[in-house]
Amino acid sequence: MRLKGRVAIVTGAAQGIGQAIVQEFAKEGATLAAIDQKAEVKEVCRHVHACGAKATAYVFDITDKEAYRKCIEDTVEREKQIDILVNDAAVMFYGNLFEDRLDLWQRTMAVNLEAMYWGCKLVAPYMAKQGWGRIVSITSVEAIATQGLLGAYCATKGGIISFTKSLAVDLAPHGILANAIAPGCIHTPLSINDGVDETETELFKTWYVGRRKIPLARPGQPEEVARAAVFLASEDCSYVTGHTLVVDGGLTITT
């Protein structure tokens, strides 16, 4: 129960990595506020309740700054504290520079980066007041070893890494640690593009598994990222800040 007595905010909580983090945090004793624009986040919280933990669902778009503020204020009023923020919510689109659109670029920036900043800004005063806090932001190996067609997504994920470093320096005097996790190929709904599960394609099976471009020769599971998040959100993480923890089965160490 490494998170017993802690109150955690998790964005992008309706599916994939965000859902897994909510569930792992609940197992470790945390009280959750789970945010997503998809109503399925309510079912995630019902499952947590059924397992004996406490989670409150909030359905709104995190680019809605006032809705986000109200969520934080409501959580503090109910739980009297906020200890952990996990920034997981993200969007992405495929298209090279000739094909993409400014509105899609702006939407990606608003969700992946600006809303992350706003969430940090909202929770930091409460964490500083109590002299303890953990901020964990989900970036991507696309910020480290990128591919084409994902310019906006890669820019935001690189921005998360840089902002996390700056955030760590700003917040260290207040007892708040800020770190990031860079997942590699994790089997989530984002693995499915135009109805095709990328982990089931011949390219993936041949190159990433057969030739071990991923040395562990398989995609990761959301729970494996969630367990890394538990470490970064807990007392076990006491002397790590401004760091990006890569969880990719070795993908980025191969050539």
Domains of the chain, start order:
7-190+221-253 (3.40.50.720)
Q: 179: which DSSP letter? A: E
94 as an active site residue: the answer is no
Place of tokens 């778009």: 61
Q: In what order do the strands lie in the sheet with 133-138?
A: 54-59, 31-36, 7-11, 84-87, 133-138, 176-183, 244-247
| Active-site annotation holder among 58, 68, 126, 153 | 153
Q: How do beta strands 84-87 and 176-183 pair? A: unpaired
| pLDDT tens-digit readout, 131-176 | 999 999 999 999 999 989 999 999 999 999 999 999 999 999 999 9
Closest CA to 152 of 106, 184, 115: 106
Closest CA to 124 of 177, 80, 160: 177
User: pLDDT class for 65, splitting at 50, 70, 90?
Assistant: very high
CB 230 within 8 A of CB 2: yes
Task: Determine if the pTM surpasses 0.85.
Answer: yes
Number of helices (H), then strands (E), in the chain: 8, 9
User: pLDDT class for 195, splitting at 50, 70, 90?
Assistant: confident
Distance CA(42)–CA(85), nearest Å, equals 19
Instruction: Provide, for the chain, the percentages of residues in helix, strand and coil under a 3-state DSSP scheme, each rounded to the nearest 5.
Output: 50, 20, 35
